[in-house]
């Protein structure tokens, strides 16, 4: 009989390659959605099916933090820097330390800021980010070895390597 463990405290959100986001809100605090599915299909009158491939590796990411979280200060500064320079794209890594699920993008920017609210309680601030060339692995929490974890990471990175090679004309 297998025994699986999930702990919200073991979800790591690293932005900029160094800053670990703390003060994540209760409930769903990270949501990652692929913007465009790779295939769309069309059915012909005689029952044949054709499919079209779209090479799009952008993802929408929502990170929910408490209004008291120091992450709000960093997120605001990164958003303002991008507003001024259009150059504040940062790496983003979201990883379940007890499982095999993760998301990585070397190019993420803040696209939507939360409303500034004040109330009698501690509110949640939902930040909207967009990631380009994202790599996602929707895993579980079955204990796996470090070798399996590395293999999963390496295999998920193949589309990114291919796009870099294609961009370089190789």
Output the tens digit of pLDDT for each of the chain's 170 residues.
577 888 999 999 999 989 999 999 999 999 999 999 999 999 999 999 999 999 999 999 999 999 999 999 999 999 999 999 999 999 999 999 988 899 999 999 999 999 999 999 999 999 999 999 999 999 888 766 666 666 666 666 666 566 556 666 66
pLDDT given at position 168: 63
pLDDT given at position 145: 62
The whole-model pTM stands at 0.82
How far from 136 is each of 50, 166, 170, CA to CA, in Å? 26, 20, 24
Radius of gyration of the chain (CA): 19
Paired strand residues for 61:
32, 129
Which pair of structure tokens corresponds to residue 116?
């500034």
pLDDT given at position 5: 86
pLDDT given at position 58: 97
Q: How many CB atoms lie within 10 A of CB 117?
A: 9
Which pair of structure tokens corresponds to residue 148?
């399996």
Rounded distance, CA 142 to CA 72, Å?
33
End-to-end CA distance of the chain: 48
Which distant-in-sequence residues (6+ apart) come within 8 Å of 127 by Cβ? 62, 63, 64, 65, 75, 110, 112, 113, 114
């Amino acid at each position: 009989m297998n025994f699986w463990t999930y702990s919200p405290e073991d979800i790591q959100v690293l932005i900029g390659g160094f800053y670990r986001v703390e003060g994540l809100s209760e409930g769903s605090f990270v949501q990652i959605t692929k913007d465009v599915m790779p295939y769309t299909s069309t059915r012909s009158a005689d029952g044949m099916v054709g499919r079209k491939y779209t090479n799009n590796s952008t993802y929408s990411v929502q990170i929910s933090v408490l209004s008291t979280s120091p992450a709000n200060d960093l997120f605001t500064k990164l958003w303002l820097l991008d507003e001024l320079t259009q150059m504040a794209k940062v790496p983003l890594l979201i990883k379940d330390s007890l499982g095999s699920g993760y998301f990585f993008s070397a190019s993420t920017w803040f696209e939507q800021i939360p409303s500034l609210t004040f109330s009698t309680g501690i509110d949640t601030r939902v930040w909207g980010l967009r990631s380009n060339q994202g790599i996602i692995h929707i895993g579980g929490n079955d204990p796996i070895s470090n070798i399996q974890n590395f293999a999963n990471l390496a295999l998920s990175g193949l589309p990114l390597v291919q796009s870099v090679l294609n961009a370089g004309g190789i």
